[in-house]
Amino acid sequence: MLVVTGVAAADRKAEEAAIREALGSNAVSSIEPAPMDGFYEVVIGPHVVYVSRDARYLLQGELLDLRTRENLTAPRRQQAVRTLLDGLDKSEMIVFSPDKPRHHITVFTDIDCAYCRKLHSQIGDYLARGIEVRYLFYPRAGKDSPSYRKAVAVWCAKDRKQALTDAKNNKAIPMKTCDNPVDRHMRLAGQLGLRGTPMIVLEDGSIQPGYVPPKPLAKLLDGGS
């Protein structure tokens, strides 16, 4: 009989079914044996938790290997974040791209947020360092707020990038409405646990809350500290 990390295949199938039932099958992305005995690693959206084989106990937090001092949760969480963002096509973003992109970031932005505006005021510097900036909207004041309506108007503009730049410079833009992805962006931000803007998601799936200037961001993306 096939055994997976000490668990018979038939037992594992039953245990996974029990975990899905306990957590809600629609919420669970994947279930794999955890690095520690007696638990499964369960991915729910961008979140990684650990559930006992009998589906009774759930552990939430960082799993550390004290021998290697390695964080075993972070890479799996970053992979889950990447998977969520990969489900959103670039046609549903406003993308500022250099001629030869070396890296990309995904930025949840609020048009009226001061640090979001500061980030965008340096968009040329990010591009000059080979960083593609993919914008998603997160109006912090919520649906139907002035910031929300500006986000919709930017999306509905003929030239979205220019409209976004104008709006962030506090220039008036035509307040149009159309089919738009702003609500989807906001739901995704909620899944990722956004607490403030800007929120920058790096290409490896790690999250940088808040504004990061072009030079240190480029260093971080290049693998520097």
Beta bridge pairs of residue 99: none
Residue 86 among the catalytic residues: no
Which residue in 12, 76, 82, 113 is the catalytic one? 113
Which residue in 110, 112, 117, 134 is the catalytic one? 110
Residue 195 among the catalytic residues: no
- Rounded CA-CA distance 180/156 in Å is 7
Residue 129 among the catalytic residues: no
- Rounded CA-CA distance 161/185 in Å is 17
- Rounded CA-CA distance 47/121 in Å is 33
- CB-based contacts of 109: which residues, under 8 Å, 6+ apart? 116, 119, 120, 135, 136, 137, 138, 197, 198
Residue 113 among the catalytic residues: yes
Helix ranges, the chain (H): 9-23, 74-86, 114-121, 123-128, 146-156, 160-168, 182-191, 214-221
Based on C-alpha coordinates, what's the Rg of the chain? 21
φ, ψ at 144 (rounded to 5°): 70, 10
Which residue in 53, 76, 134, 140 is the catalytic one? 140
In a 3-state reduction of DSSP, which class is residue 185?
helix
Which residue in 77, 116, 117, 134 is the catalytic one? 116
Instruction: State the catalytic residues.
Output: 110, 113, 116, 140
